[in-house]
Amino acid sequence: MVKKKKRWTIRCQIIIYLKTMHVNVLFPINSEAFTYLVPQELQSYIKVGFRVEVPFKRTYKTGIVIAIDRKPSSTSLNKGTGKLKKSITLKPVKSLLDKEPFLPANILKLITWVSQYYLSTSGLALKNAVPSAFFTGKKAGKPRIVYEEEIVKLKFLNLTSDQKRALSKINSEDKGVFLIHGVTGSGKTEIYMRAVKSLPEGKQAIVLVPEIAITSQMISRFRSNFGDEVVFLHSGLSTGERITQWQKIRTGKVKIVIGVRSAVFAPFSNLGLIIVDEEQEASYKQFEGLRYSARDVALARGKLENIKIILGSATPSMEAYYAAKSGTFHYIQIDKRVEKKTLPEVEIIDMTKELKDTFSLSAKLVDALKQNVEDHKQSLIMLNRRGYSPYFLCTDCGHTHKCPLCNITLIYHKDTNTMNCHYCGSWLNPETLCPECGGKEMKYLGTGTQRVEEELNRLLPELSLERMDRDTTQKKLSHHRIVKQMEERKIDLLLGTQMVAKGHDFPEVTISAVISADIALNLPDFRSAERAFQLFTQLAGRAGRGDLPGKAYIQTYEPDHFVFDYVRNHDCIGFYEKEINQRKELSYPPFSKLIRIIFGFRTKEKAKKIISNISTVIKRMEHNNIEILGPAPAPIEKIRNLWRWHLILKGRNAKTLRMTAREIVFKIDHLKDVKVDIDVDPINLL
Ligand code: ADP
Ligand code: ZN
């Protein structure tokens, strides 16, 4: 009797077993996947990579199937007993939205890698990888012409011997990472295009660029060689355009994607090559949400898909340079410009010795600019600070205005007559009386791009100029309009933030200048020398790319800073050798890996109390050769009304480092009133 009953139960379970199918569905939200039942009528159609509509919190939501399980999946089983849990009633999938997989398997793999490496969730990785419109049911739209009115077909150039050498090295291997370390104007774009051209039939390529403002020339060159085989992905696309472009990529209708950061997730299923131009650029790293580096994700995708990666730069990151030197990457050095053009002479201008009759421009630079206008040549000036003036100060008591939310000095913008916070975007109207002491002598101190523009217009009225910074390039395509004006020689001078320093190829520019080098030199960050060296070298590299030689001027109050010795001589290698020793001594990247954990609190008092709890947790942990610095207040104490503290974890082994970070986060999970953010491979510690 007893036996019979048991057999009957087993038979029942087998029937359930055969009829049950579960899928794990991922949504573009900060979470892992959820499990759903698949109704019988859908079972023979559903596949991994399909989009499905499922019930979610009393409504319906679109997600992606990332796994199919014909057995009751682990979440629906009681651990150990193998019996179906009574408490969980799984909801069924409502409908399928695709007839073939929407997301190729390689992208699903990449999403998993990203979520694990960055200690994030697969859902957040998905959100970054796929345009949100695909989950909200928006319709595709016809893309507008972004750049050229028509595609001018150009021939590939005859390669220089350096370019030939680079290309044959790249073509001699079918996987691995190549670092092209080629001086500014050495013709890297031509090498990129040839490398794409050399791909076997049917293979696809992604070209990553740091920001759209410096990309329009690269796009034009690719378009003139590859025509409609290229699409451009950037943040300025409308939803409809984004959908259209993405579909073209997914279905293999195009061969090449050029794009910023998130283009690394382009859903090609037969990828052969990823190129990362200006690989050292900070803008490859996302600063909020999923803090991924597109360069590093490209390297990971290269490994996962067994393909070639080309990193290109005139000033590679210390990490890339070190990897190349130690044989992890193939190293290709080009130390000459094409057609024997010379690198510009660099002059460091000591601002302590300058007469103070202008706010920011040395007499020498003004003279040189004046001469250049007379000679019908173009100039390019960088000041890495937008707005009019960084300090609005009471000359009686010294009071400066800070953002009430961010504890950061507000920057005065003259065009809008507001004091703006460059961190959170909030603004205040400037007051005529000091709010602290009632004093009437409020003064603007220091210079931003708006003020230099005003000064140049006053000193050199004959000179026509355009300003390019985040304020003038907010509108779609406005950066392209400015670049075009420069190309067509409609203006004499381009003034702007670091946006003007990189990438551009304007043959008529013979003078490039940095107004205040000191901004870059004095950041409290172990990478500040590296950044400054890269920025000045790039800026100098904009001059003298055409027939006439160029000259670069760098204004500074610290002319003896060691960085200038190397900038002056275009001595990249010398700089690296010096800097790498520093890094080694202090055991900073590339000799270690860093993870930064940022804690945010509503009040200063809460911060103190909770931080002491966090410290106790950390003290009790085993450290496995991981150095833990902090918790300490972050250099920027408050952003968007959150008081910030941070921990920096440093170690040689990336895996143990990640494990330790995860353990810390796990152990403080029960603490309330604290927002925890993890930054794997942080690129600033502010
Ligand atoms: P980089 O990216 O290395 O700074 P670019 O790719 O912008 O340099 O090239 C600099 C300039 O040299 C461009 O105007 C480009 O058209 C030109 N150029 C590149 N390769 C050749 C070549 N083989 N022959 C003639 N001109 C070239
Ligand atoms: Zn603010």
Mutation to probe ligand 1, out of 505, 537, 542 (largest number of atoms < 8 A from CB) = 505
- Residues with a beta carbon under 5 angstroms from ion ligand 2: 403, 405-406, 421, 423-424
Which amino acids bring their CB within 6 angstroms of ligand 1?
157-160, 163, 182, 184-190, 338-339, 505, 545
Residue labelled with tokens 């010294």: 398
Q: Supply φ then ψ for residue 291, to 5 degrees.
A: -85, 70
Averaged pLDDT, 36-57: 93
pLDDT at 266: 97
pLDDT at 77: 41
1 has pLDDT over 50: no
Averaged pLDDT, 654-678: 92
pLDDT at 84: 47
Averaged pLDDT, 196-204: 95
Mutation to probe ligand 1, out of 184, 196, 278, 338 (largest number of atoms < 8 A from CB) = 338
pLDDT digits (tens, 9 = 90+) for 461-520: 999 999 999 899 887 778 888 989 999 999 999 999 998 988 888 999 999 999 999 988
pLDDT at 184: 87
**What length is written for the chain?**
686
pLDDT at 75: 46
pLDDT at 281: 93
- 648 Cα to the center of ligand 2, angstroms: 24
Confidence label for 148 from pLDDT (cuts 50, 70 and 90): very low
C-beta of residue 337 within 8 angstroms of C-beta of residue 185: yes
Cα–Cα distances (Å) from 565 to 334, 336, 364, 550, in that order, read 21, 20, 20, 19
Q: Which is nearest to 93 in space by CA: 50, 123, 131?
A: 50
13 has pLDDT over 60: no
pLDDT at 298: 98
617 has pLDDT over 90: no
Instruction: Tell me how crowded residue 425 is: count the other CB atoms within 10 A of its CB.
Output: 11
Helix (H, G, I), strand (E, B) or coil at 93: coil
Q: Could you give the CA distance from residue 153 to residue 416 in angstroms, rounded to a whole number?
A: 43
Q: Could you give the CA distance from residue 213 to residue 504 in angstroms, rounded to a whole number?
A: 9
pLDDT digits (tens, 9 = 90+) for 543-565: 998 889 999 999 999 999 999 99
C-beta of residue 217 within 8 angstroms of C-beta of residue 505: yes
Q: Could you give the CA distance from residue 203 to residue 197 in angstroms, rounded to a whole number?
A: 10
Confidence label for 19 from pLDDT (cuts 50, 70 and 90): low
Helix axes 318-325, 572-586, angle to 10 degrees: 90
| Contacting residues for 649 by C-beta, under 8 A, at least 6 apart | 594, 595, 596, 597, 626, 627, 628, 629, 657, 660, 661, 664
pLDDT at 12: 47
Averaged pLDDT, 64-78: 68
pLDDT at 671: 85
- Both tokens of 75, joined, read 């979440």
pLDDT digits (tens, 9 = 90+) for 152-181: 676 678 899 999 999 999 999 988 999 999
Q: Could you give the CA distance from residue 257 to residue 230 in angstroms, rounded to a whole number?
A: 6
Average pLDDT of the chain to the nearest whole number: 89
Cα–Cα distances (Å) from 52 to 21, 57, 322, in that order, read 14, 16, 45
Confidence label for 11 from pLDDT (cuts 50, 70 and 90): low
Burial (0-12, 13-18, 19+ Cβ within 10 Å), 346: buried
pLDDT digits (tens, 9 = 90+) for 303-338: 999 999 999 999 999 999 999 999 999 999 999 888
In the 3-class helix/strand/coil scheme, how is 208-251 assigned residue by residue?
ECCCHHHCHHHHHHHHHHHHHHEEEECCCCCHHHHHHHHHHHHC
Return the minimum-mean-pLDDT range out of 111-115, 211-215, 266-270, 323-327. Answer: 211-215
- 422 Cα to the center of ligand 2, angstroms: 7
pLDDT digits (tens, 9 = 90+) for 342-363: 889 999 999 988 876 667 899 9
Q: Which is nearest to 469 in space by CA: 546, 411, 544?
A: 411
C-beta of residue 56 within 8 angstroms of C-beta of residue 26: no
Instruction: Please name the residue whose Cα sits nearest to atom 19 of ligand 1.
Output: 187
Compute CA 420 distance to the chain's CA centroid, rounded to the nearest angstrom.
24
pLDDT at 607: 92
pLDDT digits (tens, 9 = 90+) for 588-604: 999 999 999 999 999 99
Global confidence as pTM: 0.89
Q: Could you give the CA distance from residue 213 to residue 467 in angstroms, rounded to a whole number?
A: 13
- 528 Cα to the center of ligand 2, angstroms: 23
C-beta of residue 312 within 8 angstroms of C-beta of residue 182: yes
pLDDT at 79: 37
Helix axes 216-226, 188-197, angle to 10 degrees: 40
- 55: cis peptide before it, omega within 30°? no
Averaged pLDDT, 103-116: 96
579 has pLDDT over 70: yes
Averaged pLDDT, 255-278: 96
Q: Mind giving me the DSSP string for 313-373? A: ESS--HHHHHHHHTTSSEEEEE-S-GGGPPPPEEEEEEGGGS-SSSSS--HHHHHHHHHHH
Instruction: Please name the residue whose Cα sits nearest to atom 6 of ligand 1.
Output: 187
- 211 Cα to the center of ligand 1, angstroms: 20
- 291 Cα to the center of ligand 2, angstroms: 21
Instruction: Please name the residue whose Cα sits nearest to atom 5 of ligand 1.
Output: 187
pLDDT at 4: 56
Ligand in closest contact with the CA of 404: 2
pLDDT digits (tens, 9 = 90+) for 633-662: 998 899 999 999 999 999 999 999 999 999
Q: Could you give the CA distance from residue 513 to residue 148 in angstroms, rounded to a whole number?
A: 30
Which residues, listed in sequence order, are joined to residue 627 by a DSSP beta bridge? 650
Confidence label for 80 from pLDDT (cuts 50, 70 and 90): very low
